[in-house]
Chain A
Amino acid sequence: MKFPKLFKPFLVSAALAIGLAGCSAQKTTTEEEASGPQKAENQEVNIYTARHYDADDEIYKKFTEETGIKVNVVKGEAEELIERLKREGESTEADLFITVDGGVLANAKQNGIFQPVSSEIINENVPENLRDAENNWIGMGTRARIIAYSKERVSPEELSTYEDLTNEKWKGRLLVRSSTSLYNQSLLASFIELNGEEQAEQWAQGIVNNFARQPDGGDRDQAKAIAAGTGDIAIMNTYYVGLLANSEDPEEVKVADSIGVFFPNQETNGTHVNISGIGLTKHSKNKENATKLIEYITGVEAQEFLAANNFEFPVNPQAQKPELLESWGEFKMQELNFDTLGEHNKKAIEIFNKTGWK
């Protein structure tokens, strides 16, 4: 979607105006630290990331300390950054694209913004099921979408699978956030892949029928609603349980203490996980540095740091998990090709809209 030729003359005048308008802005900032990547020295790597975590910044810092390679970052929304990469095409300065969620990674792959990474170290660091089939992107951490339950009112024996959540017995007791959440979209997309469209739609309808209230707030809010007695069980991410348990607010810690974490579908096809991943961009100009950074992030040290500070399950099996994650024990992960999440995302949204999952 380029600008039609008709606009060209306008572009000229626009260019002039903007050039004039922006001159002052540009000059001053390039002297400051906002300067973009420099061409002369190649000791750098440029990242577009949809992950906004302090822990990530720390890892980049450590990487720079160890290798002398400078890391430049633009943080944004995943879909916007994909759009930006697409439009920049061959000219792009970005070497890596990082985001949360397999569906988005699959979508990025489909948009052709990646190229395969080849590195023995990476292949060793990350098991095959946590990478793209052609290494277009590499997993860097996962979060499990689990069932949180009230320790007071629910015993874990009552829980079994995601499918069981549509059972009559949970009527008016189930909490889950809005379908606009990517996490819910990927969850339903995985069911479309594993159980078929029809079953998935029935599932969504069953969940809607059991709502304790209309979807409201984020994942943390679902945990709080359990504590408040609005509902008894909630679908949420382990990551947010970790955040609550480590909150500065004692009231939030109490909430975390009052809920239990249950990994569903252990007897069947495994618990759904959200994966964060890194991909090498197709037109990367610093391929070597970028590969080094992926190797570093998937290495034991960085993986342990991420797990301890960001409550994500490490992708590297050698990495030690922190106490909280360890306390949940090992669990069986849903096995599927992440590409399918991207394929089914649209269908998932259609089902949400049809079934009235707000």
Chain B
Amino acid sequence: MKLDLMKRNLKKELNGWWIISLVGAVVILLPILFIFSTIFQEPNENWIHIRQYLLSNYVANTLLLVGLTGTFTAFLGVSLAWLIAAYDFPLRKFFRHGLLLPLAIPTFIAAYTYRTMLGYTGIIQSTLRNEYNYQINPELLSISGIRGAVFIFTMFLFPYVYMITRAFLESQSTSYIENARLLGQKPSAIFFKIVLPLARPAIVGGTVLVIFEVLGDYGVTSLLGIHTIATAIFQTWFGMYDVNSAMRLAAWLMVIIMGVFFLEKLLRQRKRYHLNNKSRPLVPVKLKGMKGIGAFIYCGAIFLISFLIPFIQLITWAKMTFTKVWESSFFTLIYQTVFLAVIATLIILIFSLVAANVCRSHSTFSFAVSKVITSGYSIPGPIIAIGVLALFISLDQWLAPIYKSMGLGEAPLILSLSLVMLVAGYFIRFMATGFNAIEVGYEKIGMKYTEASRMLGLSVTKTFFKVELPLIKGALMSGFVLTFVEICKELPLALLLRPFNFETLATKTYQYAHDEQIYEASISSLLIIGISILSVVIIQVLGKRVK
């Protein structure tokens, strides 16, 4: 009798969780399906032109860019994560957090900053010219082309890999690494034989985020003159005025990405990654002498290039243009940016928790669901924006009778002129950052606590709040920071989906940067960076207090 009741309860609650994730998945799916629907349309002459002149070249560029950036970010991210998780050296504690800071700088701002800094009027060339009367060949310092783009993407996106991998190593690999150390394995053997295979889901998760970001990017690549698939998408839309062909291209891009996912999934199919030891922090080994200094120099150099130098440069520019650009309305911008980002992040995290919990069953179906709800990250922002816009305008038209009965006028636009549309856009675009972080958290704890709790009679929901939530708190926090920072930086959705008179710091930055006025853009860029840093600090402090 009791057992029957339990079964029924179980069914009921499972359905509740399922329904929430399904509804969320539908919200995400609709605009994406809308984009996909273009795949089946008859190809027109623009599409034929694209295929004839552009596609092979653009695909080659994209693959090269993604391949190189992926390799370098994985290398940087994993090596830094390993150094900081397993060893102790001067300023390690500082670097542990400091190496996350590059994420706070939007990549297109980083590209503009480095480009201007290394350019003809930049500090290096102008100092050489004015002080030493030496004109260096500008090509030597040029960061244009693939070379420059790989540099910018690697330097400002590696923290994704670093963050996720470090968190994993610090808490999950302890017993394996300590045993290996006890058994006298060399550090290199530990790294290659234990760390790399163990941390694979974390490394892949982080690198995938980087690759998504690179695939959807238009700002950096167009500035540095590289034509990728995203360029083709925009050229088709903005130059040939052909939205449908643009969406078609985006849809194909998504198909390819999903293919890669399934491949990766196949490759690691039967391997189980949750480890069965108690999560005990890894005790770092002190690096002595030259080794310690070497580690310090490595971390220091990367911190310098990926954060400190551009940061200081932005500050000097901000000083230069402060009187011209600063106005009290910046406070409103700060408020609006933070407000919007907090709301959207919370919604994303709540839904990620539910969906990730549901998707733990590891069935092919749940895998598909999880990939679908995170696929928004891989589509160029403006394309998502069009999908969301189409959805909301249809929704408004469809709800028109209700609006009318509420006395809001004939066929008004209510939802599509409110912030709801923009929040929904963020929801679709940034599920990946929240969901991936939480998914890693769930993978880390595995099923055993959940199973034990359920065996002892707690319901799914109670198990979630009493057992799982405290265990994945860390993942939740990194998910919050990642998503929050992403939304603060986000541009294309904010541009197209915002209501009247709504500005964020990112749109303000764009206003100037778009017009090649990087000096004027520095103040709002710095504010984005400041807010992001603050969010990291607050989360850290909160994290400590909760402990």
Interface, chain A (partner B; CB < 8 A): 1-4, 7-8, 10-11, 13-19, 21-22, 24-26, 28-30, 32-37, 39, 46, 52-54, 72-81, 83-84, 87-88, 90-93, 107, 178, 180, 182, 185, 213-221, 224-225, 227-230, 240, 243, 247-249, 251-252, 254-255, 345-346, 348-350, 353-354, 358
Contacts and interface: CB of A to CB of B under 8 A. Distances in A.
B498 to A, nearest CB: 6
A18 B424 CA distance: 7
A21 B495 contact: no
A92 B389 CA distance: 13
A53 B325 CA distance: 12
Given A25-B343, A34-B336, A346 B418 contact: no
Contact of B142 (A10, A216, A249): A216
A15 B138 CA distance: 55
A75 B495 CA distance: 7
A88 B499 contact: no
B225 A358 contact: yes
* Interface magnitude class on chain B: 35 or more
Q: Which of B49, B225, B386, B501 has the most CB of A within 10 A?
A: B501
Interface stretch (B87-95, B202-210, B394-402): B394-402
15 contacts: A11-B395, A11-B398, A13-B23, A21-B347, A26-B419, A29-B499, A34-B419, A37-B417, A39-B409, A81-B496, A216-B225, A224-B120, A248-B324, A255-B120, A345-B240
B501 A76 contact: no
Nearest to B126: A251
A71 to B, nearest CB: 9
Contact of A36 (B24, B139, B145, B499): B499
A52 B126 contact: no
A75 B507 contact: yes
Contact of B225 (A19, A178, A230, A251): A178
B26 A25 contact: no
B399 A15 contact: yes
Given A24-B343, A216-B225, A248-B324, 7 more contacts: A10-B30, A14-B26, A16-B23, A76-B496, A87-B390, A248-B320, A358-B225
B121 A252 contact: yes
A249 B420 CA distance: 41
Contact of A1 (B139, B385, B390, B408): B390
B496 A80 contact: yes
Task: Tell me whether chain B's interface is mostly helix, strand or loop, or mixed.
Answer: helix
A87 B235 CA distance: 21
A22 B396 contact: no
A345 B142 CA distance: 31
B222 interface: yes
B436 interface: no
B417 A36 contact: yes
Contacts of B23: 13-14, 16-17
Given A14-B26, A251-B126, A26 B420 contact: yes
B321 interface: yes
A151 B411 CA distance: 60
B55 to A, nearest CB: 11
A4 B416 CA distance: 19
Q: Shortest 9 CB-CB distances between A and B: which pairs?
A: A22-B420, A251-B121, A72-B500, A52-B511, A224-B120, A353-B53, A228-B120, A349-B239, A218-B516
Contacts of A230: 138-139
A21 B427 CA distance: 10
Interface string B220-260: 00111101000100110111110110000000000000000
B42 interface: no
Contact of A80 (B138, B386, B396, B420): B386
A14 B31 CA distance: 11
B247 to A, nearest CB: 9
B394 A3 contact: yes
Given A75-B507, A91-B412, A353-B53, A217 B418 contact: no
Nearest to B416: A88
Contacts of A73: 500-501
Contacts of A25: 340, 343, 418-420, 423
Contacts of A220: 516
B519 interface: yes
A54 B139 CA distance: 34
Contacts of B235: 180, 349
Q: Which of B139, B238, B324 has the most CB of A within 10 A?
A: B238
A228 B231 contact: no
A10 B125 CA distance: 58
B517 interface: yes
Contact of B227 (A213, A248, A251, A358): A358
